[in-house]
Amino acid sequence: MGTELRRLREAAGLKAREVAGLLSSTSAQMSQVEAGLAGVSEERARRLAAHYACADEALIEALVAMATDRTQGWWEEYRGVLPPVFLDVAETEHHGTFLREVVTGHVPGLLQTPDYARAIFGYMIPELPESELKPRVEHRMRRRSVLEREVSIPYETIIHEAALRILVSDRRTARAQLLEVLRAIEDGRATVRVIPLAREGFAGAGIEMMYVGGPLPQLDTVLRDAPHGTAFIDAESQLARFRAMLNKVGKAALQPVESRDFIHHLTKEV
């Protein structure tokens, strides 16, 4: 919400101090709102939209919904226990209208088993103590709630065969992980498509992302893992680029039924 309010202000050609004066506020308070460090009331959100001459009623209502949402999600239990980005990822997924993902190195986090996740987090350097490893695994398992609630979020993931074959732990863990992916398919929790190693013309092995749909296209967000942590991308020009990348990668993937059969075959090999 803060990002969108800042964009609206900049589009209106106003400085933060000018808006602060209109609202009998301060530049520091406006900066906190735009940085996502402070909330705003419904009335103030509407006043800001009016000051910015925003005529997009759908966007205004979406911003008001954000302003009035006081949800204390399960992820808040991990505040002060895990780095803030873990909470941000869970909250972004929770509020998403759909999820589309591409992974090439590991099985998607939303489909991982506890043993698989533990092996991933356990590979970090420096090695994590049990007091930090355990909450990371728990948090990853609880993220799956978006796929298990009564009205689950539409979730499609494209997984490269390499990610399904890499033995992050032992063969028992690998087979259990493949069976968990198959269960997610059969339960209708996930639409899974596989890119085979033998697929010709696929040069996108470095493309990994989670595309989270917002209430409006301009409120979509892309999550990408980077060496310094997860990056949250929401610039419209970038979103268009990532949508095109998703569609391009999708052309190399097998259809859902073929993918299910492909994974079933892999379980026999493991």
Q: Which domains does the chain have, with CATH numbers?
A: 2-68 (1.10.260), 74-269 (3.30.870)
For residues 251-263, average pLDDT: 98
Number of C-alpha atoms within 13 angstroms, CB side, residue 17?
0
What pLDDT score does 38 carry?
82
Per the structure block, which two tokens stand in for 27?
């530049």
Q: What is the pTM of this model?
A: 0.90
For 143-180, the pLDDT digits (tens) are 999 999 888 899 999 999 999 999 999 999 999 999 99
DSSP 8-state secondary structure symbol assigned to residue 39: -
* Measured distance between the N- and C-terminal CA atoms of the chain, rounded to whole angstroms: 46
> pLDDT digits over 44-88, tens only?
889 899 989 999 999 999 988 888 877 789 999 999 999 999 999
Comparing CA positions, the residue from 132, 257, 245, 112 lying closest to residue 179 is 112
Give the percent of the chain with pLDDT over 70: 100
Look at residue 248 in the predicted model and tell me its pLDDT. 96
pLDDT in tens, 86-99: 999 999 999 999 99
The 10s digit of each residue's pLDDT in 15-26 is 988 888 877 888
Nearest of 58, 41, 60, 38 to residue 49 by alpha carbon: 60
Q: How far apart are CA 147 and CA 154, in angstroms?
A: 8
> CA angle, corner 47, sides to 10 and 63, nearest 5?
70
pLDDT of residue 231: 93
State the amino acid at position 26 in one-letter form: T
Which range has the worst mean pLDDT, 40-44, 69-73, 201-205, 266-270?
Answer: 69-73
Percent of the chain with pLDDT over 90: 73
